[in-house]
Each structure stands twice: as structure tokens, then as C-alpha cells.
Amino acid sequence: MLGFTNTSIETQFASGGGGRKERRKRNRKICIYFTILLILLIFIVFLILGFTIFKPKRLITTFDSITVEHLQSSLDPVSVRFILNLTLHVNLSLKNPNHVGFSYDSSSALLNYKGQLIGEAPLPANRVGPEETQPINLTLTLMADRLLSESQLFNDLMVGVIPLNTFVKVSGKVRVLKIFKLKVQSSSSCDLAISVLNRNVTSQNCTSQIK
Ligand SMILES: *[C@@H]1O[C@H](CO)[C@@H](O)[C@H](O)[C@H]1NC(C)=O
Ligand SMILES: *[C@@H]1O[C@H](CO)[C@@H](O)[C@H](O)[C@H]1NC(C)=O
Ligand SMILES: *[C@@H]1O[C@H](CO)[C@@H](O)[C@H](O)[C@H]1NC(C)=O
Ligand SMILES: *[C@@H]1O[C@H](CO)[C@@H](O)[C@H](O)[C@H]1NC(C)=O
Ligand SMILES: *[C@@H]1O[C@H](CO)[C@@H](O)[C@H](O)[C@H]1NC(C)=O
């Protein structure tokens, strides 16, 4: 008799203590879930802000000045071909409108004649500080191995104006909220008219493309 009540009391105690423990465990679980939910919400809010209000802007590439450093056309008496020697000095600026630094990959400035690549100058990878404008000067030289279309070049030399195009594309990564990296790209292109007689740039139309 006595032994039976003892065990029943013991089992009661055991089950009562277990219920309290479980309730505490459940409360702790709810607390953890709420904390995770809250962190997730804050994360999502920052993500939305990062890609809207604080969205990083692209670098602004601009051709500041393009000048003719060397220009000489001659008729090669052996091959009876026109030879063009041309060197342009290009001043470029990279403006970073962001409040954070911008690192860009190495690329090249290109020189084109009627859609044909005739010259190239390397633009090494670098970093532009926040709200900084980085001046870059480049020298674009007509590559010796590039044969220009004889009839087109002859026409242009007769007219006295050589149409050229310079193009530069810069791509790099910018940090959003110091966590994410976003890849952005910008480019600039200039159509030039170069006077053969005066050896200068007589007209230039530049456009910046933002992608
Ligand atoms: C731009 O080019 C001119 C010469 O054409 C040079 O004197 C000047 O320093 C250059 N500016 C920059 C920022 O490179
Ligand atoms: C062009 O840049 C080089 C190297 O950054 C520098 O030594 C040179 O003086 C610059 N020239 C001009 C005209 O700005
Ligand atoms: C013109 O360019 C060619 C090839 O680059 C070179 O051999 C030649 O000396 C240059 N001529 C002049 C007058 O600069
Ligand atoms: C620049 O644009 C003007 C007006 O559209 C045009 O007359 C001129 O020929 C263009 N120059 C070049 C180099 O494309
Ligand atoms: C090109 O050079 C000629 C002669 O030096 C000058 O009269 C003309 O104004 C120059 N053109 C430009 C656009 O600088």
C-alpha cells in the first residue's frame, strides 16, 4: 500500500517537472525563431535599401582632350602604298560618384578607322577613391601592321580629313553596404575628324554609354 503511493507520487513529480521543462524549451524555441525572423527582416530591408536608395553608381568615363601628337602620310615608292603614321594623345578622366571606392579591371582604349581596330593602349587596373576623379593620359598609336584600305585612305587624304573613333570601356565592382559586390560597366566613344594639313582634331563628338 505504502510503496504504491510512494511510486505514484514520484511519477507525479517526474511528469510535473517534465512539463515545465518542455514549456521552457518551447519558449526558448519561439524566442530563437523570432530572433531569426527579425535578423532576416533587417537583412531584407538593408538589401532593398542597398539596391534602391544606396544603389552604387557607375564610373563616368570622359574623354577630356584628344590631340594629335604625330601625323605623317607618305607614299612608299617601293610598294606604291600610302603609309600613315599617327599618334594621338588622349586625356581621359574616370569619375567615381559613389561614397565608396571603385576598383576597375584592366582594359584598353581602342582606336578605330572605319570600324577597323588600328590602335590600342592598355588601361591598367586601378582604384578610384570615393567621389574622386582620376585623370589618365594615354597614347594611341596606329599599329604598323594594320593595313588601311587603300582606296578609303586615299579618299580621306585627298579630302584632307581622317575620320577616327576612340573607344574605352571600364568595368569593375563596387561594394553595396560593405557586403555585396555589384558589377557595373561604362563606356565612352568619340568620333573624331582629324585635319591632315593642320595636324589637329577639327571636330569631335563624344558619347557615354551606360549599361
Ligand atoms: C591633358 O593633356 C595635356 C596636353 O595635351 C596635358 O598638358 C595635360 O596635363 C593633360 N591633363 C591630364 C589630366 O592628363
Ligand atoms: C601622363 O602620365 C604619365 C604617367 O602617369 C606622366 O609621367 C606624364 O607626365 C603625363 N603627361 C601629361 C601630359 O599629363
Ligand atoms: C612611320 O611608321 C613606321 C612604322 O611604324 C616607321 O618605321 C617609320 O619610321 C615611321 N616614319 C616616321 C617618319 O615617323
Ligand atoms: C559631329 O556632329 C556634328 C553635328 O551632328 C557633325 O556635323 C560633325 O560632322 C560630327 N563630327 C564627327 C567627327 O563625327
Ligand atoms: C587646327 O589648326 C589650325 C592651324 O593651326 C587652326 O587654325 C585651327 O583653329 C585648329 N583647329 C582646332 C579645332 O583646333
End-to-end CA distance of the chain: 89
Take atom 8 of ligand 1 and give the residue whose Cα is closest. 91
Question: What is the residue-averaged pLDDT of the chain?
Answer: 83
Which has more confidence, 53 or 130?
130
- Can you tell me the mean pLDDT for 181-191? 88
Longest dimension (CA), the chain: 131
Ligand closest to Cα of 161 equals: 4
How much of the chain exceeds pLDDT 70, in percent?
Answer: 84
Q: CA 178, CA 188: separation in Å to the nearest integer?
A: 28
Pocket flag, ligand 4, residue 193 (CB < 6 Å): yes
The predicted pLDDT at position 6 comes to 52
CATH of domain 60-210: 2.60.40
Q: CA 70, CA 177: separation in Å to the nearest integer?
A: 47
Q: CA 189, CA 193: separation in Å to the nearest integer?
A: 13
Domain residue ranges of the chain, discontinuous segments joined by +: 1-53, 60-210
The predicted pLDDT at position 148 comes to 64
Q: pLDDT by residue (tens digit) across 105-126? A: 999 999 999 888 989 999 999 9
Pocket flag, ligand 5, residue 65 (CB < 6 Å): no
Pocket flag, ligand 4, residue 164 (CB < 6 Å): no
Is 128 in contact with 94 (CB distance < 8 Å)? yes
Question: β-strand 107-113 against 161-176: which pairing, if any?
Answer: antiparallel
Q: Does the pLDDT value for residue 12 go beyond 60?
A: no
Pocket flag, ligand 5, residue 72 (CB < 6 Å): no
Take atom 10 of ligand 4 and give the residue whose Cα is closest. 205
How does residue 210 score in pLDDT terms, banded at 50, 70 and 90? low
3-state secondary structure 42-77: HHHHHHHHHHCCCCCCCCEEEEEEEEEEEEEEEEEC
The predicted pLDDT at position 168 comes to 94
How does residue 149 score in pLDDT terms, banded at 50, 70 and 90? low
Whose cell is 590602335? That residue is 119
The predicted pLDDT at position 154 comes to 82
